[in-house]
Amino acid sequence: MSSDRIFGLVVLGVALAYIASALQIQTSFLSDPVGPKVFPLMIGGVAVLAALVLLLTPDENPEWPKGATWLHLVIALVVLIAYAYSLRPMGFLVPTAIAAGVVSYQISPNLKTAALTGIGLSAGLFAIFKYALGLGLIALPRAMMG
């Protein structure tokens, strides 16, 4: 019960810091009416609500993950941090396919399914972000693009 409240306080602190940093985003006078602050503020607001739920209604007897689950969580965390650092130099497709494949393998250890999930998710997200949303993503490393 106390572990939920402690985690709720941590999430609340991080969410409030995230909201404070989102409020520092500078907008130009030519931006759209919503502006670049709204999405980060919405994410921060949802995190605040989740923290309040943890604080106000903690689980009476929470079950923490066992040893192997912690290892899977650490592997996923390391992969996602490496993914964030590899996007710029390696482009979108390769790091996203690798990260999605590794995380998929952590969820369900089937090599073929994980590889297909990584490749499919990478290609699908690239198409959505690049063509549907108009983001300026680089598909492959700049050195390969010429």
Short-list 51, 65, 53, CA closest to 16: 51
One-letter identity of residue 111: L
| Span 27-83, pLDDT tens digits | 766 665 666 777 888 899 999 999 999 999 888 887 878 888 889 999 999 999 999
pLDDT higher than threshold 70 for residue 108: yes
User: What's the full length of the chain, in residues?
Assistant: 146
